[in-house]
Amino acid sequence: MLLIAALQGGCEPMKSTASKRRGQNPEFVGGPTPLEEAEQLARRSVKGFKADDRRLTDAFEKRIVTMLAHRDPLRRAKAAVELGEFRRPHPVDALLLAAGDGEPDRTVRLAAVEAIGWIGRKDCALSIAERLHDPAADVRIAAARVLGRLGNREATEPLIGALKDPDERLRAAAAAALGWLRDGRGLKPLIRTLGDHRGKVRAAAAGALGLLGEKESVEPLIRALKDRDPLVRYLAAGALTQLDDRRAVKPLEALRKDPDPSVRKAAHSALTKLSALFKKGVVLSP
């Protein structure tokens, strides 16, 4: 079966012929495993398997992969979740197949994308990046989060493109992911994103700029300290804490009078850190 064969592959999703077989088996899109046996194995706890029992874990994995071909989308989604919890790298091609355009159910695609994130295959970044164009917003958002988790900088350009998505949740997720990738190519796009019309997106961009740690973002982050959204001000203060730059001192001192208590606390924490660096003789950027 195609999905079982996928266990032997790399990270590139294969084209599915499952739709041609859908009517040949009342239980599965295509696969030899009886439904009752597959269900029984799917219900068993992965935690019950010993790490050294290779044959049993291999058998479990193959049965769950088979469940990805079940005609019921809820069962396919459950199989994807099980594989993610199992956290073995072998079924990633089968999961990419389940996450792809050939899978009609968005819940299955979402579960498959999340599962690949739990497995942690960095070489799958470009395949996951294709899901940034999924018709379902929640799948696009999950893809962005997984790309940040995988940490493969090959995803930088696709994530930069996602900063223009009409869904603010995806723009925020893409901004956050760019921070985790710590790729300098994301610097200017993130600075531009500080001007997004949604506070959630501006806040994510501010936090990401702190992770990048580039001095070019100091002035834009100082301006963000006056943002109308308190979350943006809070995260901008935190980002400036990570940049260790003298220019941030006076704006942060002014922020200690902010009407929002969490923002005042962030300003105080930032100034405390900068003061500690002064005392230790660390030369801050002018």
- Average pLDDT of the residues in 84-98: 82
Q: Model-level pTM greater than 0.75?
A: yes
The segment with the largest mean pLDDT, out of 31-35, 65-69, 87-91, 243-247, is 243-247
Position 266 pLDDT exceeds 90: yes
Q: Is 230 exposed, middle or buried (0-12, 13-18, 19+ CB in 10 A)?
A: middle
- Average pLDDT of the residues in 161-185: 97
Position 40 pLDDT exceeds 80: no
Position 264 pLDDT exceeds 50: yes
Cα dihedral 49, 55, 56, 57 sign: positive
Cα dihedral 91, 58, 67, 32 sign: positive
Position 129 pLDDT exceeds 90: yes
**Which pLDDT belongs to residue 279?**
65
Position 14 pLDDT exceeds 70: no
Position 201 pLDDT exceeds 90: yes
**Which pLDDT belongs to residue 11?**
66
- Average pLDDT of the residues in 254-274: 93
In angstroms, the first-to-last Cα distance of the chain is 64
Q: What is the pLDDT of residues 203-222, one digit of tens each?
A: 999 999 999 999 999 999 99
- Average pLDDT of the residues in 238-256: 91
Count other Cβ atoms within 10 Å, centred on residue 13. 22
CA 247 – CA 214 distance, rounded (Å): 14
**Percent of the chain clearing pLDDT 70 (strictly above):** 76
Cα–Cα distance list, 99 to 92, 240, 249 (Å): 10, 38, 47
CA 285 – CA 127 distance, rounded (Å): 40
**Which pLDDT belongs to residue 21?**
34
Range name among 18-27, 49-58, 108-117 with the lowest pLDDT average: 18-27
- Structural domain spans, the chain: 1-119
Position 90 pLDDT exceeds 60: yes
pLDDT, the chain, mean: 81
pLDDT-derived band at 92 (thresholds 50, 70, 90) equals confident
